[in-house]
Chain A
């Protein structure tokens, strides 16, 4: 039997740190994927030149300013315009035809981070003549990220990636038509913001607030543990219209046994699912 004391100690430290943060500040990361959180914490320890997680805990508990400065590092906000172009292509081909049949549309973008993918969807809808009848609810737990999303201002040096992704996603014009460049930054066109509401929402505790035709939640659930993941899938199920669409990250599968009867694939590679209306959903959640 291989005993691994150092490792066990680290896992204990992670648990204690998360508990301490919750007790002191109310921020709750205890239902996050333990391994991902641990990696983030170990990076903080390294960046701060500390010896171990316990030292980090000491600093976090006794120095509120320090805690506030490091808090955003717990949430992962890596994103870009038209991230995974193949997803947008699949959405255009397979979901848009259904969306044409509704008189008005509600789209919930859960975990929108700094908003790049929300504007990407707005552009896609605009090009498919669907934007006018759409209301997008873009939510995140990270207030600072939401502020950036609201501003719609991004770094010009990423423009070439944006344009490249846009074209690969099946864009019909040129990305530059949707922005104005100001030196180091570019700003999203005002008309794209018109039908987007950015809202502070916590998937771990908040309830459903919309009956959406489409929910996008890409690369968020990979940071949640099994229990929280189940809660969120249920939340999405309850927040979708009868045959609504759920779009996940390209490497996220919700088709574990418990979800099989509640969602079906619309596009397997694009990880686009469709709700299967059922009375039995409550059985799925303990």
Chain B
């Protein structure tokens, strides 16, 4: 795997109600050789068939992948937290799954992913909060910021669910407030080394 010239080593994305279409918009902008590993935690019911169909759109160059415990967290695919598991990133850059109690009424929980990824990557991490109707993710994003990472939220004015975004904005001084399309473009340019921070 290439190491991204951007200096970033991980991207974590969290969302809940109304986050599938912005997530697709972001991921569709990324090429197959996108070199920063991506992990996504979305609140979802354990069924998930509909969910997979929605995410497996053909425009996406990166494949959606539900990892096994202890898989290395690498670029080339999008790691999606499996239904009913917390997905964590360990310090040796492997994925760690857990069925421990719900956090913020959710499993997978966004905070579980964000906080552990922040411990792993420090300032080399980008955290993104999308549409959602809970406060999950706010603590995680705050930790990412505290460790020097970059924080982005979807523009709440055009999001289906504002609560998650507003909550994150209340607790963290967000770096960028973008539309999903802008986030996609930003990440792509960042990886190519042509984005300015």
Contact = CB atoms under 8 A, between A and B. Distances in A.
A35 B67 CA distance: 17
Contacts of B85: 251
Contacts of B98: 36, 39, 76, 222-223
Given A4-B147, A252-B68, A35 B99 contact: no
B116 interface: yes
Given A34-B90, A222-B98, A251-B82, 7 more contacts: A2-B123, A39-B100, A76-B99, A78-B99, A222-B69, A249-B69, A251-B69
Interface string A235-266: 00000000000000111110010000000000
Contacts of B99: 76, 78, 219, 222
A7 B120 CA distance: 9
B112 A2 contact: no
Contacts of A256: 70
8 contacts: A2-B124, A39-B86, A43-B101, A222-B96, A249-B69, A250-B82, A251-B69, A251-B97
B163 to A, nearest CB: 22
Interface in A7-42: 7, 33-36, 39-40
Interface residues of B, number: 27
Interface residues of A, number: 22
Q: Which 7 A-B pairs have the closest CB atoms?
A: A253-B68, A222-B69, A2-B122, A78-B99, A35-B90, A76-B100, A35-B96
A146 to B, nearest CB: 19
A158 to B, nearest CB: 14
Interface string A179-218: 0000000000000000000000000000000000000000
Contact of B91 (A35, A36, A78, A219): A35
Interface centre among B71, B82, B85, B98 (most CB of A within 10 A): B98
Nearest to B123: A2
Contacts of A78: 99-101
Contacts of B90: 34-35
A2 B85 CA distance: 30
Interface in B52-91: 66-71, 82, 85-86, 88, 90-91
Contacts of A253: 68-71
For B85, B86, B124, which residue has the most chain A Cβ atoms within 10 angstroms? B85
Contacts of B100: 36, 39-40, 43, 76, 78
A88 B66 CA distance: 20
Contacts of A40: 100
